[in-house]
Amino acid sequence: MRPILIPDYFEEFSCIGGACEDTCCAGWNITVDKRTYQNYRKVKHPEIREKLQRYVKRNRSQQDDSSYAKLILDENKNCHMMLEDGLCGIHKELGEQFLCNTCATYPRQFTKVGSFVEKSLTLSCPEAARVALLREEGLGFIETEEPKDTRGLMSNELNLEKHPLFWNLRVFTIQLMQNRKQPIEIRLIILGLFIQKIERLKLSDLEQQLPTIMEDYLNRLDNEEFIESLKNIEGNLNFQLNLARDLIRYRMSDGGVSSEKYLAILHQLLDGLLLDENDNKEVQDMDQSIAKYQQSYLELYEPFMKKQGYMLENYVINYIFKNLFPYDYNTMFESYMMLVIHFTLIKLHMIGMASKQQKLTQDMVIECIQQLAKAIEHNSSYLQGVRKGMEDSGYTTMGHMFVMISN
């Protein structure tokens, strides 16, 4: 047996198959592990055998057995093994044991921290998004055990000798982000200030000072004068909208987005906020977009979040847990910056959808987060491009994070 750590929603999830409103057999690249590739070469079923020989190709640029081969997709980025009902032909004709690791474990994500294997769900699956986001009480975590040979595909591993303060930082971050005394935006700003503070310290100094610093920043949630100063920081909607439009345009040009569901959400955003995808946006048009944003925020988004803000909180906590935040990028502040970008894009899409539909519901939030996770979180080249673009533009200071988060 091996120890594992899971969110308390994990065991509530089960695939709903044909009842799902989306498919996990389209929209992204699918890698095939070496063991499964070798099994595919022994398949006797004539129709499946022919498809496997045609559409499963060696991935010779990769030396890792987990990415030994890949499934070639059709022109719509659909898997050739997908049946008309959206289900998997390999699963139906050969059984679950013939699925590659990627397909067998999705939407489950595996990471390793020291001796612990950690499991979570990626919210690009609609049912996973529902299970995680709708927990009004927030997300908790459970230590348990499982057999050592449990099938899984590790997405990341953290060396605790290299990052000895990981557990302290994770517990603090989750505790801060689940403290509902203040809105999620205020909590995110305090998190950024905390990370900015500790990243300036040498490790030896940080080890000594960390407990005091963590206590200080948690206490700031109750400091009315400090909180009021944060609320008085003016956001720059012109900057937010232009940045978000650039990110969306870049994603659309980076191989395109095949998901009709995401494209429908995108068009709601563009229509709802009177945005377009052209470079010649006039100043007066942006003023109209800002007015639309403010109206949707005040009349639709803010009232919804006052009652159901736990949905965004749960997204943030799940992101922090599954990505091993703040060690998922080169620096802790870079990790924070990417979290803020994800949060800002989700918020912008929701406000745009609300403006277009003149309402905001749980189902809309779930669909928005699920489709953005599918279009963005699973595309490493896009995220690397976003990170480089932010660096090249100089948008990597706490001041820029203030502007992006503030309403």
Check whether the bond before 3 is cis (ω within 30° of 0). Answer: no
- pLDDT higher for 320 or 93? 320
pLDDT tens, 124-182?
999 999 999 999 999 999 999 988 878 777 888 999 999 999 999 999 999 999 999 99
* Gap between the Cα atoms of 80 and 73, Å rounded: 6
Mean pLDDT to the nearest integer, 92-109: 90
User: Residues near 284 by Cβ (< 8 Å), separated by ≥ 6?
Assistant: none
In this predicted structure, what is the pLDDT of residue 181?
96
pLDDT tens, 194-239?
999 999 999 999 999 999 999 999 999 999 999 999 988 877 888 8
| pLDDT confidence tier of residue 258, bands split at 50, 70 and 90 | low
In this predicted structure, what is the pLDDT of residue 18?
79
Q: How far is CA 357 from the centre of its chain?
A: 24
| pLDDT confidence tier of residue 269, bands split at 50, 70 and 90 | very high
- pLDDT higher for 276 or 55? 55
In this predicted structure, what is the pLDDT of residue 78?
87
In this predicted structure, what is the pLDDT of residue 59?
86
Residues in the chain: 407
Tell me the DSSP string of 70-131: EEPB-TTSBBTTB-TTS-BHHHHHH-GGGS-HHHHHTTEEEEEETTEEEEEE-TTSHHHHHH
Find residue 146's DSSP bridge partners.
Answer: 2
For residue 284, pLDDT beyond 70: no
For residue 187, pLDDT beyond 60: yes
Instruction: Break the chain into its structural domains and give their ranges.
Output: 1-8+115-407, 25-105
- For residue 385, give both structure tokens: 């491009």
* Gap between the Cα atoms of 123 and 133, Å rounded: 9
| pLDDT confidence tier of residue 264, bands split at 50, 70 and 90 | very high
In this predicted structure, what is the pLDDT of residue 242?
83
Look at residues 60, 58, 63, 61 and name the one whose alpha carbon lies nearest to residue 32: 58
Please check whether residue 401 is in contact with residue 192, taking contact to mean a CB–CB distance below 8 angstroms. yes
pLDDT tens, 5-55?
999 999 999 988 878 888 888 777 888 999 999 999 999 999 999 999 999
Q: What average pLDDT is seen over the chain?
A: 90
Question: φ, ψ for residue 3 (rounded to 5)?
Answer: -75, 140
pLDDT tens, 358-384?
999 999 999 999 999 998 887 777 788
Q: Which of 57-61, 305-309, 319-323, 333-337 has the lowest mean pLDDT?
A: 57-61
For residue 278, pLDDT beyond 90: no
User: Residues near 119 by Cβ (< 8 Å), separated by ≥ 6?
Assistant: 4, 5, 6, 10, 108, 109, 110, 152
* Gap between the Cα atoms of 197 and 210, Å rounded: 10
